[in-house]
Amino acid sequence: MSESSIITNLIGILTTASTLFMVAAGLTLVFGALRLINIAHGSFYMYGAYLATTLAARLGGAGFWVSLVICPLVVAAMGVLVEVLVLRRLYRREHLTQLLATFALLLIFADIALRLWGKSVRSIKAPSALNGHFQFGGAAVPVYDLFVIGVAALVAIGLWALMSRSKLGWRVRAVVDDPEVLAASGTNVPLILTGVFALGAMLAGLSGVVIAPEQAVQPGMDAEIIVAAFIVAVIGGLGSIVGAAIGSLIIGVVETLGAVWTPSWASTFIYALMILVLAIRPWGLFGETER
């Protein structure tokens, strides 16, 4: 492989991994605190992207930057409503009930999206500051890909700081381990759960906005991303942010090198990898067995 190919493929790996990580991180964060697999996480991602197309159409050039701030907050508010109105009643139920409930939410949100935005493909332009590419080592490096990688890195650092360096992170971990003691010590447990769920939704909404200039915004993107993000979370270990990061990188490497060397098998490798991990280490590379 020539130097320029190595750089191009490295960018491919990191961009793939970053896109997956932003969505998988929210999914795994919510699982870590709430012990709930939220299939509707894909809806939050799709709504982030759709809202961005609406704002960009209204506001023109500055629309992307406004969307980057506003849309994740709107989606977080959706998350609060979903948590308070629906999921709160399901925490003591078994996983399958929760799964079916969040799957039903995905279908409902998809129907509402069809009514609000229709079935045609929508698209927004990357802001001019992030458009184009520069030459590096003989390869063309897209500026927007670097932006995606940068946002994913910020999300990773932010989540790490929040979970391991703040009191809130400590409480979130305590919610999982011993909710009764935490409640007795005066912590508002339901509020923490709502907050974590809203944060997860916000991350999904943010990823939706970030991918919108590079991808087609259309029906079906909700179900498509949730499968990919779920595979990442399973490989990395459900509940582990570090696992989501490593899982995304593994998928990025496998898919990119697969596409270079054995193109017709590239997408198969990912499923084979998931099956392998499930067989050898069912709780994932960085997960813990559930008590």
Partner 1 sequence: MMHKNIAIAVAATLLLGPLAACSSSGSSGDGNGSGGGSGRGGSVTIGESTSLSGSIANLGQTGLQGLQLAAADMNASGGLLGKKIKVVSADDNAQPATGASEARSMITKNHAVALFGPVSSAVAAAQEQVAAQYKVPIFFHTSNDVGLMTKTFTPYAFQDVPNTMMEPRAVADYLAKKVGNKQITIATFAPDYSFGHDTVDGFLQALKTLHVNYKLVKQEFPPLGASNISSYLSALVSAHPQYVFNAQYGGDLVAFTKQAAQFGFFKDTTVIAMYAYAPLAALGSSAPAGAIGFDRAPFWEIKTPEMTKFVSEFKAKYGKYPTEWAILAYSAAQEWAYAVKKAGSFDSAKVIKELPGASVPTIIGSMTVRACDHQSEVPEYVGTISGTADPKFGIHLYNDGFTAPFKDISLTCSEVKALQK
What is the footprint of partner 1 within residues 184-243 (CB under 8 A)? 211, 213-221, 223-228, 230, 234, 237-238
Question: Phi, psi at residue 123, to the nearest 5°?
Answer: -160, 145
**Distance between CA atoms of 221 and 45, rounded to whole angstroms?**
8
3-state secondary structure 184-232: HCCCCHHHHHHHHHHHHHHHHHHHHHHHCCCCCECCCHHHHHHHHHHHH
| Binding to partner 1, residues 14-73 (CB under 8 A) | 15-16, 19-20, 37, 39
Q: CB nearer to partner 1: give 132 or 158.
A: 132
| Binding to partner 1, residues 73-102 (CB under 8 A) | 94-96, 99-100
Q: CB nearer to partner 1: give 72 or 208.
A: 208
Residue bearing tokens 């520069």: 134
Q: CB nearer to partner 1: give 21 or 171.
A: 21
Please count the CA atoms within 13 angstroms of the CA of 259 that sit on its side-chain side: 13
Among 70, 74, 125, 169, binds partner 1 (CB under 8 A): 125
Among 60, 132, 137, 158, binds partner 1 (CB under 8 A): 132
Q: CB nearer to partner 1: give 100 or 154.
A: 100
In the complex, what is the shortest distance from the CB of residue 271 to partner 1, in angstroms, rounded to a whole number? 10
In the complex, what is the shortest distance from the CB of residue 214 to partner 1, in angstroms, rounded to a whole number? 5
Question: What residue type is 189 in one-letter code?
Answer: V
* C-alpha separations of 138 from 9, 14, 145 in Å: 13, 18, 17
